[in-house]
């Protein structure tokens, strides 16, 4: 008997940003697999088994979840934000491809969610209002030179840049190097948004300029949006400014 595996996006963290279909999947699963802090968001249910694992054990978690589904269980693998954006969906696909042939009979579904960059952008205005890219700063799974080259090409192209996995205890210097790289291409006044835990009680949003941006403002739970040269800041009396990137440009690409 083969079960089903669903990879579910829990959104940025607030239950108000969880879609009804994601909610239904986590309610109805026999087995829940995920990084501890994501599973902690979900109420314990007597009939469910919970399988917590550590942050960097994505492949092992994916394999265990597939094994459980192959044994006939209804399995949910949870991700924060959207599972397809630096989340568990790719890890499950990768484990499935590399695993035993009978895993290809498991019914697989992916439930999308509101990704961190969308939630952070919404808190300040519309910085992703025009062409943009999403880039993981982690060099655990790709060479750092590739990260730097992508930053350079993205900034040259005029993309707004959303940075995921910006910093961690094991990767303390990469974010400042990324800012340094971007300062060589973009104006010093380019708007930079640091968004931590958007929509949650411990939310922290900071708006600064590229010249002043530094890694000390970020942690693992931060998503950073670096504007393009066209991103604008609109001051408002008595409240936070709006940050947005206009929908058009007359500027030719470099």
Query: Using CB under 8 A, which residues numbered 181 to 210 contact a copy of itself?
Result: none
- Which residue, 107, 111, 93, is CA-closest to 3? 107
C-beta neighbour count of 156 within 10 angstroms: 12
> What is the distance between the terminal CA atoms of the chain, rounded to a whole angstrom?
57
What is the nearest approach in angstroms of a copy of itself to the Cβ of residue 21? Answer: 4
Going from the C-alpha of 108 to that of each of 8, 83, 111, the distances in angstroms are 11, 13, 10
DSSP 161: E
What is the nearest approach in angstroms of a copy of itself to the Cβ of residue 167? Answer: 17
Whole-angstrom Cα distance, residue 121 to residue 123? 5
**Window contacting a copy of itself (CB under 8 A); options: 47-55, 92-100, 169-177, 183-191:** 92-100
Residues numbered 98 to 137 that lie near a copy of itself (CB under 8 A) are 104-105, 108, 110-115, 118-119, 121-123, 125-136
211 near 219, Cβ under 8 Å? no
Instruction: Tell me which of 41, 50, 150, 183 binds a copy of itself, using CB under 8 A.
Output: 150
Binding letters toward a copy of itself, positions 9-48, x by CB under 8 A? x-xx-xxxxxxxx--x------------------------
Instruction: Tell me which of 82, 193, 196, 218 binds a copy of itself, using CB under 8 A.
Output: 82
75, β-bridge pairs: 5, 31
What is the nearest approach in angstroms of a copy of itself to the Cβ of residue 215? Answer: 20
């Amino acid at each position: 008997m083969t079960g089903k595996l669903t990879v579910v996006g829990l959104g940025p963290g607030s239950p108000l940003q969880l879609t009804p279909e994601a909610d239904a999947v986590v309610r109805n699963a026999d087995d829940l697999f995920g990084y501890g802090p994501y599973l902690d968001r979900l109420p314990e249910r007597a009939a469910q088994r919970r399988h917590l694992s550590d942050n960097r054990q994505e492949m092992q978690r994916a394999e265990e979840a597939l094994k459980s589904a192959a044994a006939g269980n209804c399995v949910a693998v949870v991700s924060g934000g959207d599972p397809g954006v630096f989340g568990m969906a790719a890890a499950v696909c990768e484990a499935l491809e590399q695993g035993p042939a009978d895993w290809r009979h498991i019914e697989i579904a992916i439930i999308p969610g509101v990704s961190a960059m969308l939630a952070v952008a919404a808190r300040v205005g519309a910085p992703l209002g025009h062409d943009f890219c999403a880039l993981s700063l982690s060099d655990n799974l790709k060479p750092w030179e590739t990260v730097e080259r992508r930053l350079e090409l993205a900034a040259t192209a005029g993309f707004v840049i959303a940075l995921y996995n910006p910093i961690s205890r094991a990767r303390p210097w990469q974010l400042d190097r990324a800012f340094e790289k971007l300062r060589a291409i973009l104006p010093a006044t380019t708007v930079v948004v640091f968004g931590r835990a958007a929509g949650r009680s411990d939310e922290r949003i900071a708006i600064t300029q590229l010249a002043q941006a530094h890694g000390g403002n970020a942690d693992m739970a931060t998503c950073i949006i670096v504007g393009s040269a066209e991103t604008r800041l609109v001051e408002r009396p008595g409240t936070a400014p709006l940050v947005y990137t206009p929908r058009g440009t007359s500027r030719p690409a470099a």
